[in-house]
Structure 1
Amino acid sequence: MTPKCQEDNPFIKLDELLSEIGNKHMLAKKDLVSLINAQKPVLYREFLARDCRAAFRRGRRQSGLYIIHPKYSPLLVVYCDMEYDGGGWTVLHRNVLSKKSQLWSNNWDAYKMGFGNLLGNHWFGNEFMHLLTRQNSFSVRFVIVDSNGQTKHADYHSFRVDGEEAGYALRLGNYSGNAGDALTSWGEAGIHDNMRFSTVDQDHDRRVTTNCALENGAGWWYDNCYSALLTSGNQIYWKGLCTEHSSCSLASIMIRPNGKNCNKS
């Protein structure tokens, strides 16, 4: 008899859960103790939310690690911020600047599948960003703490990451916030919106003379080269807010559904 596929089985035993998590390599504790919504011996797939906002709507109020199940995606573990500005934020990136960190000087495959510690500095993974953002209409918030310790933000009212065949191109909507628009406004470094992702081993930027990712030791949606760069271990840069001489100290990227074609399940 042919065994049922995983999707046909509505239940998951806790001791089998790890094998189904697509980004399990980003978990610091392989025993799953830290997963807030996986504390019962058996989980029901339909009860797993598709993102942190859906978990929030179901009454979850504790920030931390959650298992989510986006449509047409493997199970994923994400950090959900359930307290900041109304809660329900799915965190895709966090960088607390440290001296000469080599974490961000990674290749295409690493940025594709994600790396780091979900409870600390990490990149969620371009492939998983794509799977997550194709199921719903999301807004994004880039949170930046400047050199004076002031928290600023830049919101874009739509956010999507295209698939690998399109180079994980970044798609953004209208800007609002108090950090300044460093991603969709044209400048000397070009524009980040609609740019393909570049890494040290895959150059998709529009600078002819060099590979921006190799030059800066970090993957990003470069143009020529950047007006914003949040994945460097040497500096966090956001045009008009953070500079080479006054680097910001923290950056994060977080998303939640924007209410357009919103799937609340």
Structure 2
Amino acid sequence: MPATILRSRTGHAARASPVCVVAAPGHASVTHLCGPPGARGPAPLCLLTQCLTKSGETRGCEPGWTVLFLSRSMAACPMLGLAALLCLSAPQANSVVQYRQPVHVVLLEPQGRDCSHIWAERPRAPSGVYTVQPEGASTPFKVLCDMRPDGGWTVIQSRDQGRGTPLDFERCWQEYKQGFGDLRGDHWLGLEHISSLTSQPGLRSELSVDLLDADNHTLQAHYDDFRVGREERFYPLTLGQYSGNAGDAFRGLGHTDSQEGCGFSTLDRDHDRCSPCVDGAQTFTSCSHDRSGAGWWYSDCGRADLNGLWPEQAGAASGMRWAAGDHQPTLRASVLRVHTTASGKV
């Protein structure tokens, strides 16, 4: 049977629902309306977000969605909130929500565990978007595979300032968890998917960090035992041995700089290792919220941040960093790729 979802009049339907519920932290009973925060089934009724940017802008709501600010009375009485959502879903004159439309749910059929597995089974497979299901993952998902002579590499992050309108990386925990962007352009694959890819039993993962600076020089950092842990530990980072010409910015200048073992932080989830955090003469509370604006594995903020924000005007400093030693190039593009092999055979 086809699932029924709501579509907004503006036509945005990349996500299954146009209703975004914004609630103050602590309104746990909103899960009666939406399910767990950020839950997205084949046809969820709404997406809960509790995340605001430094300027007070809501994040997690797509353009064109109806934004429902949940009052305390609605949170206390789920039926009242549900009635509000039903009113929003009814076709009305001058309403943002215009009509219901049946949508067929497409079931993804995995083509392999990951891009490395697909390449091993089909060495002539071209680069492109494939459906994978890592060992132990509950559901399949789509990824961009870079098929090289040395194997298939799964792209987990891609950014290029020259692609036109830049993708906004100033996002919250749920979006960094589930992923965002266009697989064929700027995107973040999602922490849950990255964790699944790099935690497969019997497999070892390599990370390739490919950078392009403002002078079109290419830089690369390689880590031979890359893993991202589970959400209950805030997706901690494991790296392995470094090689390359970019410098080991993940480990920085020493113990307080090193981001290895750090949990992931976002605007609304602070898991960095500093309190307070200090950068030169500046003192602040959160590396993500107060300095970077993006999500990353921050230590005492650290010297690597490839999700940092692009400068808002020409000549301004970029938040995208890969600083090793005294060298900090101005970056214009990055790609993070993962390759898996049997343990001990990297």
Residue 232 of structure 2, aligned match among 165, 172, 183: 165
Q: Which structure's relative contact order is higher, taking Cα pairs within 8 Å and 6+ residues apart? A: 1
- Which amino acid in the other structure matches residue 293 of structure 2? G
Tell me, yes or no, if the aligned pair for 2:166 and 2:186 is still in contact at 8 Å.
no
Match of 2:177 in 1: 112
2:141 is matched with which residue?
A: 76
| Match of residue 233, structure 1, among 309, 313, 332 | 309
Equivalent AA in structure 1 for residue 309 of structure 2:
G
Match of 2:245? 178
SS of the counterpart of 1:111? helix
| Number of residues of Structure 1 aligned to a counterpart in Structure 2 | 219
In structure 1, the partner of 2:113 is 50
Give the 3-state SS of the residue equivalent to 1:82 in structure 2: strand
Aligned Cα root-mean-square deviation (Å): 2.6
> Structure 2-normalised TM-score?
0.58
User: How far apart are 1:156 and its partner, in Å?
Assistant: 0.6
Q: CA deviation at 1:66?
A: 0.4
Letter in 1 for 2:115: C
Q: 1:258 to 1:147 in 2, by over 3 A?
A: farther
Runs of 4+ in structure 1 over 4 Å off: 42-45, 98-102
Give, in angstroms, the shift of residue 100 of structure 1. 9.1
Q: Contact 1:157 / 1:258 at 8 angstroms: preserved in 2?
A: no
Matches within 5 A, 1:89-104: 89-97=153-161, 101=166, 103-104=168-169
Between the aligned partners of 2:118 and 2:327, the Cα distance in structure 1 is 34
SS at match of 1:88: strand
Equivalent residue number for residue 210 of structure 2:
143
Give the structure 2 partner of residue 208 of structure 1: 275
CA contact (8 A) 2:252 2:302 kept: no
Q: Which amino acid aligns with 1:237?
A: R
Task: Report the alpha carbon displacement of residue 134 of structure 1 after superposing the two structures with TM.
Answer: 1.0
In the TM superposition, residue 138 of structure 1 has moved relative to its aligned partner by 0.5
**AA matched with 1:126:** L
Q: Tell me by how many angstroms 1:218 deviates.
A: 0.5
Counterparts of 2:249 and 2:296, CA distance in 1: 14
Distance in 2 (CA, whole Å) between partners of 1:116 and 1:80 is 16
Q: Match for 1:238: what amino acid? A: W
Q: Write the letter of the residue equivalent to 1:61.
A: A
**Higher gyration radius (CA):** 2
Contact 1:100 1:233 in 2 (8 A): no
Q: Structure 1 unaligned runs (5+)?
A: 1-17, 20-41
Identity rate, percent? 34
Please tell me whether the aligned partners of residues 144 and 250 of structure 1 are also in contact (alpha carbons under 8 angstroms): yes
**Cα shift readout 1:225-257 (whole Å, capped 9, x = no counterpart):** 1211100222321114873xx521111110101
Residue 189 to residue 58, structure 1, CA distance change in 2 (3 Å): same
- Amino acid of the structure 1 residue aligned with 2:112: A
- The superposition leaves residues 61-104 of structure 1 with CA deviations (integer Å, 9 ceiling, x where unpaired) of 31110011212221110000013x62410000011136995611
Paired residue secondary structure (1:222): coil
Following the alignment from structure 1 to structure 2, what is the Cα–Cα distance between the partners of residues 93 and 143?
10
- Whether the 8 Å contact between 1:187 and 1:227 is mirrored in structure 2 is no
SS in 1 for 2:159: strand
Unaligned runs of 5+ in 2: 1-40, 43-106, 277-284, 311-317
1:151 Cα deviation from its structure 2 partner: 1.3
After superposition, what is the alpha-carbon deviation per residue over 1:133-188, rounded to whole angstroms, capped at 9, x for unaligned? 11121011111112211111100110111000001001110101111111134448
**SS of the counterpart of 1:249?**
strand
Residue equivalent to 1:4: none
Instruction: Decide which of 197, 220, 227 is 1:132's aligned counterpart.
Output: 197
